[in-house]
Amino acid sequence: MTAQPTQSTQPDLLYSEEEDALRAAVRDLLTDHCDAAGVIARAESDAPHDRELWKALGESMGLAGLLVPESSGGQGATHREAAVVLEELGRAVAPVPYLTSAVVATEALLACEGDEAAKLLSALASGRTIGALAVALSTAPGAPVKSVRHEEGALHGELTGIADASAADVLLVPAQDGGLYAVDAAAVTITPQVSLDLTRPLATVAFDGAPARRLTSDAAQAVRRALRAGAGLLASEQLGLADWCLAETVRHLKDRKQFNRPVGGFQALKHRLAHLWLEVVNARAAARNAADALSTASPDTDVAVAVAQAYAAPVAVHAAEEALQLHGGIGMTWEHPVHLYLKRAKADSLVYGSAGAHREALAELVDLPAPL
Amino acid sequence: MTDAATKAGAPKAGAPDAAELRRRTQELLAAQPPATTDRLDFLKARFDAGLAWVHYPEGLGGLGAPRSLQAVVDAELEAAGAPDNDPRRIGIGLGMAAPTILGFGTEEQKSRFLRPLWVGEEVWCQLFSEPGAGSDLAALGTRAVRDGDDWVVNGQKVWTSSAHLARWAILIARTDPDVPKHRGITYFICDMTDPGVEVRPLRQVTGEAEFNEVFLTDVRIPDAHRLGEIGDGWRVAQTTLMNERVSIGGMRIPREGGMIGPVSKTWRERPELRTNDLHQRLLKLWVEAEVARLTGERLRQQLVAGQPGPEGSGMKLAFARLNQEISGLEVELLGEEGLLYEDWTMRRPELVDFVGRDAGYRYLRSKGNSIEGGTTEVLLNIVAERVLGLPSEPRTDKDVAWKDLAR
């Protein structure tokens, strides 16, 4: 532990031209295929995930394989590009398993070796197979995980809080013998849980002798890597959410008239929105820093991820809460999409570790230890 | 950016490139070896070689080169151990007076003032704020009345740093009280040695006096020292103020480089002071300080890439609040020692370091961070209106003659 960790290289905190082009392409797709009314209607249906959107995004555009090397059937891009995709998905609260399959499950597989892992990696990269890491969504990187019993090539037990399990074709499951196993979704019982975030639903997964293929004997390391990437890139999703909330609220307040003037002209509201803008500006720097650190495997990655999560998670919640309040009665209706953003933002603030959990991690990382 | 700065920043055709600047710098170093050359002589030679501020025009300390190439010259000179012009001592001259003189000054004014300004022979101060004109600077009441070839100035200015050291001041004064406030202002260069200029230290909450009050009584300013047209002073002042904001935030700051540094150090060195409550608050502020640093770095990268964003408007807001909260936490962390203060003696510091002295000083000094250079409340309005495009405040002062304003 050094008192002041030094960064070996300066992070690139901007967006490249290619990243801007990628953003534009994803935004176009979402504008055409992921409108708010559709997301609200889908949220309460039997199929909360948007399969068609996933197909367009993951398969046609090839974005499911951004983090996978070309030699393994992916795009050979980096976390920086995946972060841009997540910003746009956050902006649209898109109900697709991008973070869970194309980032977290993919990162877990990248930590594994052997034919089974390689086969699954290219299947996930193609977008035709959806994977889910069977670790509770609220788990922070490095925190203990619940595992199931492995006996004679099969798994026994039950796990809860598994995000996007109901969309998954394959589950990556930590077992009590320390290994990580691949299990086909068809071989387990997946029961949806009524979730706070309707667009990223949780499920319980029951294993009753499900046949399992071993991916690695070091599940802890694979899970840690997966959750760290998930936490770091979640900050970009939170940035997208917050940015939408700010932009939509500003738009509404310019338009909405009360007391014979635009509501956005009242100084109390102007100042609140200016504060929120500043938070979003800061969240962007923190999210870019985490994405860049992950993409360059910087020695500063643990700090960058913890800082990004500790900062961006509350910003997204604040933005969604302000959006609801400043939309007044309209914001309280089921019809207006702001509730989707509030639910996603609040849920996200627990995902892959709360802000508090990440601050505690920082206490050790930057040598600001707790009282004895 | 306004005209002056843009003009100065735009490279001319045939302007020297990095290699040429390096060559000219080495030529200067060979002709005036720093080890054996008097400091002031070296600085004057540097100015005359056009290597003072390379984006300025030839003959005025520059070569019409891109502003970004200054770093090339500075690096060569630093490596050779050459003296610099101690920019912190003459910050107002460099950052505010010079771009305004360049943008609006006559040829005589430029050649008379810029060289001694840059080498530091002549210190400058800024006579803008008044007791009755703070956030509403355009309401200023210092009067300048024409008398032959001179202007006669009467009034009071406040929060003037360096006034007691300054040879010259940039001054804005009211030359026409019968028109709306923004239109009746004229911009001058004021001789601080005029017998009508009285400088008094202004003691502040920290006990010391960084700033001054300046009383102007029948001060005579020749019309040749007017900058810009009569009545156009508000527009000229915008250049000054714009450059004040540009000069902030160009620096790369290391992690824990600001106010969070001292408190983090104390936390590490003195485990007996730690409590759970302070720990939670410290970690939260550490994260915010680190993120503010990253935002500053991102802004710097945007500027280097030639894509300045509106983020700069928010930086000062963030740093003011953080400086205040962090230094407040530090006083608490110190426990019994937090009840003490280093020294209340009235002093006149030449340089100001927000992060200097003890925790109590840092706490008190940082209170000024949300007032100086634009109050937090006004900056929030600016962000809301200019960045977010929200409606501006209802105004009752735009079409009223200055003399009829409420006061």
**Predicted confidence (pLDDT) per residue in B96-122, tens digit:** 999 999 999 999 999 999 999 999 999
> What is the rounded CA–CA span in Å between residue A232 and residue A361?
14
Torsion angle of C-alpha atoms B332, B335, B336, B337, degrees rounded to 10: -70
- For tokens 């006579």, the residue is B127
* pLDDT higher than threshold 60 for residue B2: no
Token digits of residue B126: 């800024």
Residue with tokens 């009753």: A208
> Region A254-277: what's the mean pLDDT?
97
Radius of gyration of chain A (CA): 20
CATH of the domain at B150: 2.40.110.10
Q: Give CA–CA dist A86/A236, Å, rounded.
A: 6
Residues A195 and A239 placed together within one structural domain of the fold = no
Query: What confidence score (pLDDT) does residue A4 get?
Result: 41
Asked if the structure places residue A293 within a domain, the reply is yes
What mean pLDDT, rounded, does chain B reach?
Answer: 92
Reported confidence tier of residue B300, pLDDT bands at 50, 70, 90: confident
Q: Is residue A19 part of a domain?
A: no
Query: Which residue among A187, A220, A253 closes a domain?
Result: A220
Structural domain contains residue A156: yes
Given a contact cutoff of 8 angstroms between Cβ atoms, the answer to whether A102 and A58 are in contact is: yes
pLDDT above 50: residue B63: yes
Whether A105 is in a domain gets the answer no
C-alpha distance from residue B189 to each of A49, A319, B201 (Å): 69, 48, 22
DSSP state of B204: -
Q: Catalytic: B244?
A: yes
CB neighbour list of residue A15: distance below 8 Å, 6 or more residues apart: A23, A84, A288
Top residue of A254, A256, A282, A288 to mutate, by most chain B CBs within 10 Å, is A282
Residue B235 backbone dihedrals phi, psi, to 5 degrees:
-65, -40
Q: Which of A166, A190, A220 is the last residue of a domain?
A: A220
Same domain? For A180 and A232 the reply is no
Residues 6+ apart with CB under 8 A from B288: A282, A311, B318, B322
Question: What pLDDT score does B356 carry?
Answer: 82
Q: Are residues B229 and B267 in the same domain?
A: no
Report d(CA A4, CA A367) in Å as an integer.
8
Q: Which helix (H) or strand (E) holds A364?
A: helix A355-365
The residue assigned the tokens 């945007």 is B302
CA distance B66 to B391: 37
- Within this chain, do residues A213 and A254 fall inside the same structural domain, yes or no? no
Name the residue facing A367 among B268, B292, B294 (closest C-beta): B268
Least confident of A191-200, A308-317, B219-228, B293-302: B293-302
Q: Are residues B294 and B355 in the same domain?
A: yes
The pairs formed by A255-259 with CB atoms below 8 angstroms and a separation of 24 or more are A256/A328
Average pLDDT over residues B261-282: 98
pLDDT at residue number B312: 79
Rounded CA gap, A31 and A45, in Å?
Answer: 21
The lowest-confidence range among A270-284, B235-249, B323-337 is B235-249
Give the count of beta carbons closer than 10 Å to the beta carbon of residue A37.
9
Share of chain B above pLDDT 90, in %: 83
User: C-alpha dihedral over A194, A196, A202, A203, to 10 degrees?
Assistant: -20
A353/B contact by beta carbon, under 8 A: no
Minimum mean pLDDT range among A199-203, B37-41, B239-243, B280-284: B239-243
Per the prediction, chain A carries an average pLDDT of: 96
Total count of domains within chain B: 3
Asked if the structure places residue B400 within a domain, the reply is: no
Q: Which residue has the higher pLDDT, B252 or A172?
A: A172
Q: Rounded to an integer, what distance in angstroms lies between the CA atom of residue B211 and that of residue B191? A: 18
Residue in B265, B282, B388 nearest the CB of A274: B388
Residues B269, B218, single domain; the answer is no
Beta bridge partners of B187: B172, B227
In this structure, the answer to whether residues A225 and A360 fall within a common structural domain is: yes
* Residue B257 binned pLDDT confidence (cut-offs 50, 70, 90): very high
Q: List the single residue in B268, B286, B305 with the smallest CB-CB distance to A14.
A: B305
Size of interface A-B (CB pairs under 8 A): 138
CB contact under 8 A, A270 and B318: no
Domain membership flag for residue B119? no
Query: Of B241, B317, B218, B177, whose CA–CA distance to A279 is shortest?
Result: B317
Exactly one of B121, B244, B256, B372 is catalytic; which is it? B244
Q: Is A79 on the interface with B (CB under 8 A)?
A: no
Q: Is the pTM of this model over 0.90?
A: yes
Domain shared by A206 and A244, yes or no: no
A365 contacts chain B (CB < 8 A): no
For residue B190, the SS3 value is strand
Chain A contacts of B298, Cβ < 8 Å? 13-14, 284-285, 288
Place of tokens 């510091």: B349
Phi, psi of B68 (to 5 degrees): -65, -20
Record the tokens describing residue B111, joined without a space. Answer: 């050649």
d(CA B118, CA A28): 53
Residues B219 and B145 in one domain: yes
Q: Of B210, B240, B270, which residue constitutes the final position of a domain? A: B240
Give the pair of three-digit tokens for residue B345.
């003696």
Percent of chain A clearing pLDDT 90 (strictly above): 96
Contacts of B284 (CB under 8 A, 6+ apart): A310, A359
β-pair type (B226-227, B185-191)? antiparallel
The predicted structure's pLDDT at residue A168: 98
B104 in any annotated domain: no
Optimal mutation site among A278, A302, A305, A322, interface B, most CBs of chain B within 10 A:
A278
Cα–Cα dist A319/A311, whole Å: 13
Structural domain span for residue A152: 133-220
ipTM score over 0.85, yes or no: yes
* Residue B151 Cα, gap to closest chain A Cα (Å): 41
From B283, which residue of chain A is nearest by alpha-carbon distance?
A359
In the predicted structure, residue A260 carries a pLDDT above the cut 80:
yes
- HSE-CB for B372 with a 13 A CA cutoff: 17
What does the alpha-carbon distance between residue B66 and residue B84 come to, in Å, rounded to a whole number?
Answer: 20
| Nearest-by-Cβ selection for A282 from B252, B286, B318 | B318
Is the same domain home to A206 and A282? Answer: no
> Do B383 and A360 count as a contact with CB atoms less than 8 A apart?
no
User: What is the structure's pLDDT at B3?
Assistant: 39
User: Do A190 and A171 lie in a common domain?
Assistant: yes
Scanning A283-312 for CB atoms below 8 A from B yields: 283-286, 288-289, 307, 310-311
- The pLDDT score that the predictor gives to residue B1 is 34
Structural domain contains residue B174:
yes
Q: What is the pLDDT of residues A149-164, one digit of tens each?
A: 999 999 999 999 999 9
CA distances from B253 to A45, B67, B298, B315, B362 (A): 51, 21, 11, 13, 19
Q: What is the mean pLDDT of residues A45-68?
A: 96
Among B256, B291, B294, select the one facing A4 at the smallest CB separation. B256
Strands (E), B90-184: 124-127, 143-147, 150-161, 168-174
Contact A100/A124 with Cβ under 8 angstroms?
A: no
CA separation for the pair B174, B190 (Å, rounded): 14
CA distance B384 to chain A (A): 5
Instruction: Confirm whether B102 is domain-assigned.
Output: no
CB contact under 8 A, A363 and B279: yes
The predicted-structure confidence for B64-83, as pLDDT tens digits, reads as follows: 999 889 989 999 999 999 99
Same domain, A281 and A345: yes
| Residue A213 and residue A142 share a domain | yes
We report the CATH number of the domain holding residue A321 as 1.20.140.10
Tokens representing residue B405 in the block: 């304003």
- Give dist(CA B114, CA B239) in Å, integer: 16
Residue B303 sits in the same domain as residue B269: yes
> What is the pairing mode between strands B168-174 and B124-127?
parallel
With a CB cutoff of 8 Å and minimum separation 6, the contacts of A317 are A342, A345, A346, A348, A349
Residue A73, in any domain of the structure: no
The pLDDT value recorded for residue B247 is: 47
Return the H-helix or E-strand segment holding B102: helix B98-104
Average pLDDT on B186-192 reads 98
Q: Considering the domain boundaries, does residue A312 fall inside one?
A: yes
pLDDT, one tens digit per residue, over B9-53 is: 455 567 899 999 999 999 999 999 999 999 999 999 999 999 999
How much is the pLDDT for B355? 84
- What pLDDT is stored for residue A9 in this prediction? 65
Which has more confidence, B311 or A192? A192
Would you report the helix, strand and coil content of chain B in percent, each value rounded to 5? 45, 15, 40
State whether residue B230 is helix, strand or coil: coil
The rounded distance, in Å, linking the Cα atoms of A103 and A66 is: 9
Domain boundary among B182, B206, B240: B240
- Per-residue pLDDT at A333: 97
For residues A171 and A191, membership in a common domain is answered with yes
Euclidean distance between CA atoms B340 and B338, whole angstroms: 5
Contacts of A360 in chain B (CB under 8 A): 283
Three-class SS of residue A123? helix
The residue segments making up the domain with residue B281 are: 248-373
Mean pLDDT (whole number) for A331-358: 98
Is B291's CB within 8 Å of A285's CB?
yes
Same domain, B235 and B273: no
Burial of A58 (0-12, 13-18, 19+ CB in 10 A): buried
**Interface touch A274/B381, C-beta < 8 Å:** yes
Residue B7 confidence (pLDDT) above 70: no
Within 8 A by CB and 6+ apart from B215, the residues are: B156, B197, B198, B200
Confidence at residue B250, expressed as pLDDT on a 0 to 100 scale = 54
Token pair of B367 as six digits:
């209170």
Instruction: Judge: A3–B265 Cβ closer than 8 Å, yes or no.
Output: yes
B207 and B309, same domain (yes or no) = no
Please count the structural domains in chain A.
Answer: 2
What residue of B is the nearest CA neighbor of A278?
B314
Question: A305 pLDDT exceeds 90?
Answer: yes
Q: Is residue A102 part of a domain?
A: no
- What average pLDDT does this structure show over B209-230? 97
Same-domain check for residues A321 and A280: yes
The answer as to whether B326 is a domain residue is yes
User: Are A254 and B271 a contacting pair at CB < 8 A?
Assistant: no
**Do B205 and B258 reside in the same domain of the chain?**
no
Q: Which two tokens stand for residue A83?
A: 């972060």
State whether B281 and B313 are in the same domain.
yes
Taking the Cβ of residue A130 and every Cβ of chain B, the question of whether any pair is shorter than 8 Å is answered with no
Give me the DSSP letters along B31-89: HS-TTTS-HHHHHHHHHHTT-SSTTSPBTTTB-S--GGGHHHHHHHHHHTT-----TTT
| A267 chain-B contacts, CB cut-off 8 A | 381, 393
Among residues B218, B240, B262, the one where a domain terminates is B240
The lowest-confidence range among A119-133, A248-262, B240-254 is B240-254
pLDDT higher than threshold 80 for residue A281: yes
Q: Which residue has the tokens 């943008």?
A: B103
Q: How many CB atoms lie within 10 A of CB A49?
A: 21
The domain boundary, picked from A177, A200, A220, lies at A220
Contacts of residue B318 in chain A, CB cutoff 8 Å? 278, 282
B260 shares its domain with B367: yes
pLDDT tens digits for A167-220?
Answer: 999 999 999 999 999 999 999 999 999 999 999 999 999 999 999 999 999 999
Indicate if B369 and B258 belong to the same structural domain: yes
| Stretch among A97-101, B113-117, B300-304, B366-370 having the lowest mean pLDDT | B300-304
Mean pLDDT, to the nearest integer, of A143-151? 97
Distance CA B51, CA B73 (A): 7
Is residue B357 assigned to a domain?
yes
- A4 and chain B: CB distance < 8 Å anywhere? yes
Q: Write the residue in A3, A289, A369 that is nearest to B294 by C-beta.
A: A289
Q: What is the 3-state secondary structure (H, E, C) of B271-293?
A: HHHCCHHHHHHHHHHHHHHHHHH
Q: What percent of chain A has pLDDT over 70?
A: 98
Does some domain include residue A225? yes
Question: Looking at the domain assignment, is residue B53 inside a domain?
Answer: yes
Verify that B321 and B359 share a domain, yes or no. yes
Looking at CA atoms only, how far is residue A255 from chain B in angstroms? 10
* Residue among A5, A270, A284 whose CB faces B255 most closely: A5
Residue of A nearest to B303 (CA): A14
Shortest alpha-carbon distance between residue B47 and chain A (Å): 33
Q: Show residues of chain A in contact with B276, CB under 8 Å.
A: 370-371
Residues A225 and A353 in one domain: yes
Q: With cut-offs at 50, 70 and 90, classify the pLDDT of residue B242.
A: confident
Tokens in use for A219? 């599940």
* A183 near B CB under 8 A: no
Record the tokens describing residue A25, joined without a space.
Answer: 């392409």
Contacts of B133 (CB under 8 A, 6+ apart): B139, B140, B141
Cα dihedral B86, B88, B89, B92 in deg (nearest 10): 120
| CATH number for the domain harbouring residue A137 | 2.40.110.10
A161 contacts A137 by C-beta, under 8 angstroms: yes
**How far is residue B265's CA from residue A225's CA, in Å, rounded to a whole number?**
31
Q: What is the pLDDT of residue B290?
A: 98
Pairwise CB contact (< 8 Å): A262 & B274: no
The answer for A 108-127 residues in CB contact with B (under 8 A) is: none
* Backbone CA torsion sign across B238, B241, B245, B247: positive
Q: C-alpha distances in angstroms, A343 versus A201, A202, B193?
A: 11, 13, 66
Alpha-carbon distance of B354 to B208, in angstroms, equals 13
A258 contact B CB<8A: no
